Structure 1
Amino acid sequence: MESGTSSKRPNILLITVDQMRFDCLSILGHPVVETPNLDELARTGVRFDHAYSATPTCVPARAAIFTGMKQTSHGRVGYQERVPWNYPNTLPGELAKSGYHTQCVGKMHVYPARSLLGFHNVVLHDGYLHYNRDKQNTPVQEHFDEVDDYLPWLRGQVPGADLLDLGLDCNASTVARPWALPEHLHPTNWTVSQSIDFLRRRDPGKPFFLWMSFVRPHSPLDPPQAYLDMYKDLDIPDPVIGEWAMKEDPEGNGFNPVTSKGIVPKRRLRTAMAAYYALITHIDHQIGRFLQALSEYGERNNTIIMFTSDHGELLGDHHLFRKSLPYEGSAHIPFIVNDAGGHLDLASGSAVSEIIELRDIMPSLLNAASAEIPGSVDGESIWDLARGDKEPREKSWREYLHGEHTQGIMSTQWITDGREKYIWYSQTGEEQFFNLTQDPGELHNLIHDPSLQEKIQYWRSILIHELQGREEGYVQGGCLVVGREPVSVLSHIKQA
């Protein structure tokens, strides 16, 4: 049977990147970033303009993707390694049970690292993770040299090569330098090469589910020279700095290459921003390469494509870097769906304003595959939203999203509907309120505006409702309690 006609059900391609900001698409009018292939997917597909990562770091975000659960259900409300993933229902597992050939290439970030989580096969590269490079404290079977697929391949091309050769830490969001080896050896190219090879090796009698999962633009900021050259001399706009943000950096945190906050030397920051944008364009071009291969195999019109990121990158906004915080640069993510074959009757070229989250990926893709959605799933299928006014919706969409992240003194809880945002720092009691419609850069904290107190109390009450009964004791007597010890993993997951 000819390729592309092996099944009435469509193939599914899930493309995720790591740490990409929501605004880094040229179709959204970004002043410097070029993303021609993602632009085309959006132009001929559907763009979701209010997609968020409710717990915006790698581990909890990926738990939401894998399980379709909100953070209180999958249990990961912060970043913690080495907690086993024992979820009975996963996106690849359900698709495999439904008859799909399932494959992941690239980043999983689960534990144990080689857990299949329902995939038939995984070609793994999680990037540089400190915990599994620790030669003293990592079990041999979990050490990076034993679990990673990219590094042995790279060493086969360049004997003695390592991920540390550029001298850049995996969390160095403020320093950059070009990739020193030929471009085809870069992990971004490798991920696409391995994904194209899957097209050759897949079972032709089944539809496929391929998760093409890039480590970049997460640092190290190491784009190939040709991509860095595209940006290094451009007039890159400064990050947005809220009136509430730090004004001075007396401890000099901005000089630390792996800082999460601080005033970074201007030249260093501009180079880092250029490299970050360069990595995004590099990924975009490689996505274009895969789409060309998909067409050559006759599968482009039989493949539903979904593109998103696990979380964003603050990139100097408010003198903050990396992720985990609830601000737009960190928690707001790009999200595009494309259905060239018309399987889902989407409103092509449209943009959706309703608020969606990573938990919605699993039920949406299972729905597209005509597979059963397990009762454990908290998310909702997004396809009715993506059809616009073509069909009446059976029920109203979610009114708001509850997000959170454990991070010591910076631990936060937040509520947003995409138009307004209420933030509570659980360890200090600090509150913030932003009107995202009028102030998308979150420059003005309106928490003390007398005219908004009724509205702020409404959002505060929503957060109290969401936190009622939590094991940390965030709510007592109907009020938020400051200083309760946060946890990164809820007890029902640690005990599983």
Structure 2
Amino acid sequence: MAQKLNILFITADQWRGECLSARGHEMVKTPNLDALAADGVLFQRHYANAVPCGPSRASLHTGMYLQNHRSGTNGTPLDARHTNWAKEAGRLGYDPVLFGYTDTSQDPREEDPESPWLLTYEGPLPGIRPVAMMGTWPTPWTDWLAANGYDVPADIRYAYGERAPGPEYEDGAAVPRPLIYPKEVDDTNFLTNQVIGYIGASEKPFIAHLSLLRPHPPFVAPEPFNAMYDPAAVPGFARKESHEAEAAQHPWLEHQLGRKLFRAPADEKKLRRLKAVYYGLMSEVDEALGRLFAFLKESGRWDNTLIIFTSDHGEQMGDHWLLGKCGYFDASYHIPLIIRDPRRAADGARGSVVTRFTENVDIMPTMLDLIGAEIPVQCDGASLRPFLEGREPETWRKEAHWEFDFRDPADDSAEKRLGLTLHQCTMNIIRDEKYKYVHFTKLPPLLFDLEKDPDEFVNVATDPAYLPVMLDYAQRLLSWRMNHDEQTLTHIALTDDGPVERRAARY
């Protein structure tokens, strides 16, 4: 009998899709991920289905669109009735383990009223066993630091961004200030070491989810990664001449640019420093993963381990004068995906690049398919197995789809500023190779001609010449949503002979 497949499922947080040297990025160096792509498959048009972290990871871990799992913001509970890849793998005898975080807001109906998981959106995915759980509170790491003689801030949440003394780059320093801790002991390498230790001690087939914080803020990198990229030389920013000029595109964007948290700084040197450090954090993740991959080879596990590398979402990094992840721009949703399938059936596809549109909802079906588990009806995505085996699926999506729910039960400023109710703070996006259409519940739509305007500056929604395109894409979006309505029981009919079940493909 063939040995059960191991899975190493890696997410790096807030990683833009083009930021791989395997993709030809003009600056970022990722040799270990490039090597993984050369021995696997690189998915060039891969997209997150939601932002921020909680909603995106809900889609990633359940295979469901936001319209169905309904965990729309950080802190919106994920309905306990939905299954996920960890629960399904557990039914086959695996012990799925977590290093990092899944940002799963627990269903309060399933929790004791005194449960600590009701005080945070950073709960663990049901069905996964946390081994080294880290999020806002990096307790395993900071406890280890303290035990090994390193100073830890009184509020351990600030350990991620604890800078060495001295001036910052925009204040005259030659390079960005580094993290106070050496790279060997920072959060990225700590978690990587924890995974290596766990796998090394594992005698059974494993499924390990390594969820790294970086390159997510705070944008502070240890030496030498703080100085790896020259801030003066980083690529420029896709933006108009000012915040005000950018904000004129749409009322929602004007609102977003009015929020300090999301508005990129006007100080050019500071913004360039952030971008250089962002790149440096990526290269550090790449180096740490290189150690992990080398360990799998040295320990004899490489040829029986499925490796998935992706992200929860992207990062605006100054484009359109925004920071973080939000809204409808590609920079917030286009993310990397590399899958290295060790099976012989995948040998013919090694080093290939897939240009079809893929999404994070495809990850769960892919993992389950390759370990021989049934793919639950709830999944809106589909297995990527055909691409991994060098085959073109008979049917596949022609567009990418995502959603952004900008409601905030604790803050009604968006509602007041935009004249909306809580339930109208939503947008849906559909994009293909030529156009992107953005539909708001109760705000004007947007349409971008991506062939003429790849940076999404010109809204042509009101241009009479584009009215047929507007109608076409509005209808496509409506059909997309109708085709992906929640379907858990819709394939079953109760008859005189009992329940009759017939499943069908989405596409």
TM range (shorter): 0.7 to 0.9
Looking at structure 2, the residues matched to 401 and 450 of structure 1 have their Cα atoms a distance apart, in angstroms, of: 25
Looking at structure 1, the residues matched to 31 and 182 of structure 2 have their Cα atoms a distance apart, in angstroms, of: 23
Amino acid at match of 1:375: V
Match of 1:66 in 2: 61
Moved more, 353-362 or 460-469: 460-469
Matched, 1:199 2:199: yes
Question: Contact 2:47 / 2:360 at 8 angstroms: preserved in 1?
Answer: yes
Match of 1:118 in 2: 127
Question: Contact 2:141 / 2:187 at 8 angstroms: preserved in 1?
Answer: yes
Match of 2:85 in 1: 91
Match of 1:285 in 2: 287
Question: Contact 2:228 / 2:280 at 8 angstroms: preserved in 1?
Answer: yes
**Match for residue 454 of structure 2 among 437, 440, 446:** 440
| Aligned-residue offset at 1:289 | 0.8
Amino acid at match of 2:58: A
Q: TM-score, normalised by structure 1?
A: 0.80
Name stretches of at least 5 consecutive residues in structure 2 with no aligned partner.
106-116, 164-169, 249-253, 407-413, 419-424, 486-507
Looking at structure 2, the residues matched to 255 and 177 of structure 1 have their Cα atoms a distance apart, in angstroms, of: 29
SS at match of 1:13: strand
Match of 1:321 in 2: 323
| Aligned-residue offset at 1:436 | 3.0
Question: Equivalences for 1:221-300 in 2 at 5 Å?
Answer: 221-232=219-230, 235-241=233-239, 246-247=244-245, 259-262=261-264, 264-300=266-302
Question: Contact 1:242 / 1:441 at 8 angstroms: preserved in 2?
Answer: no
**Match for residue 144 of structure 2 among 150, 153, 158:** 153
| Aligned-residue offset at 1:89 | 1.7
Amino acid at match of 1:396: T
Q: Deviations over 1:22-64 (max 9, x none)?
A: 1111121211111111111112211111111121210011111
| Aligned-residue offset at 1:283 | 0.3
Question: Equivalences for 1:43-54 in 2 at 5 Å?
Answer: 43-54=38-49
Match of 1:10 in 2: 5
Moved more, 367-376 or 238-247: 238-247
Looking at structure 2, the residues matched to 106 and 343 of structure 1 have their Cα atoms a distance apart, in angstroms, of: 32
| Alignment CA distance shift 1:51-1:84 (3 Å) | closer
Looking at structure 2, the residues matched to 16 and 384 of structure 1 have their Cα atoms a distance apart, in angstroms, of: 22
Match of 1:480 in 2: none
Match of 1:179 in 2: 179
**Match for residue 435 of structure 2 among 420, 428, 436:** 420
| Alignment CA distance shift 1:411-1:89 (3 Å) | closer
Q: TM-score, normalised by structure 2?
A: 0.78
| Alignment CA distance shift 1:307-1:236 (3 Å) | same
Moved more, 295-304 or 443-452: 443-452
SS at match of 1:42: helix
SS at match of 1:414: strand
Q: Deviations over 1:159-211 (max 9, x none)?
A: 5432325468xxxxx99742111222211111101110111222x1x321111
Looking at structure 2, the residues matched to 403 and 323 of structure 1 have their Cα atoms a distance apart, in angstroms, of: 13
Amino acid at match of 1:432: L
Match of 1:456 in 2: 470
Match of 1:476 in 2: none
How many residues are aligned here?
435
| Aligned-residue offset at 1:420 | 2.2
Match of 2:366 in 1: 364
Match of 1:337 in 2: 339
Looking at structure 1, the residues matched to 483 and 364 of structure 2 have their Cα atoms a distance apart, in angstroms, of: 27
Moved more, 107-116 or 286-295: 107-116
| Aligned-residue offset at 1:115 | 3.8
Amino acid at match of 1:406: D
| Alignment CA distance shift 1:469-1:378 (3 Å) | closer
SS at match of 1:428: coil
SS at match of 1:221: coil
Moved more, 210-219 or 367-376: 367-376
SS at match of 1:163: helix
| Alignment CA distance shift 1:425-1:114 (3 Å) | closer
Amino acid at match of 1:192: T
| Aligned-residue offset at 1:411 | 4.3
Looking at structure 2, the residues matched to 213 and 60 of structure 1 have their Cα atoms a distance apart, in angstroms, of: 15
| Alignment CA distance shift 1:303-1:413 (3 Å) | same
| Aligned-residue offset at 1:93 | 1.5
Question: Contact 2:265 / 2:271 at 8 angstroms: preserved in 1?
Answer: no
Amino acid at match of 2:431: T
Looking at structure 2, the residues matched to 458 and 304 of structure 1 have their Cα atoms a distance apart, in angstroms, of: 40
Match of 1:139 in 2: none
Q: Deviations over 1:307-332 (max 9, x none)?
A: 11100000011111110222111011
| Alignment CA distance shift 1:167-1:37 (3 Å) | closer
Looking at structure 1, the residues matched to 3 and 482 of structure 2 have their Cα atoms a distance apart, in angstroms, of: 46
Question: Contact 1:50 / 1:332 at 8 angstroms: preserved in 2?
Answer: yes
Question: Contact 2:41 / 2:354 at 8 angstroms: preserved in 1?
Answer: yes
Looking at structure 1, the residues matched to 247 and 369 of structure 2 have their Cα atoms a distance apart, in angstroms, of: 50
Q: Which has the higher helix share?
A: 2
| Aligned-residue offset at 1:14 | 0.9
Question: Contact 1:339 / 1:346 at 8 angstroms: preserved in 2?
Answer: no
Percent identity at matched positions? 31
Question: Contact 1:52 / 1:333 at 8 angstroms: preserved in 2?
Answer: yes
Question: Contact 1:124 / 1:150 at 8 angstroms: preserved in 2?
Answer: no
Looking at structure 1, the residues matched to 376 and 482 of structure 2 have their Cα atoms a distance apart, in angstroms, of: 26
Match of 1:26 in 2: 21
Match of 2:492 in 1: none
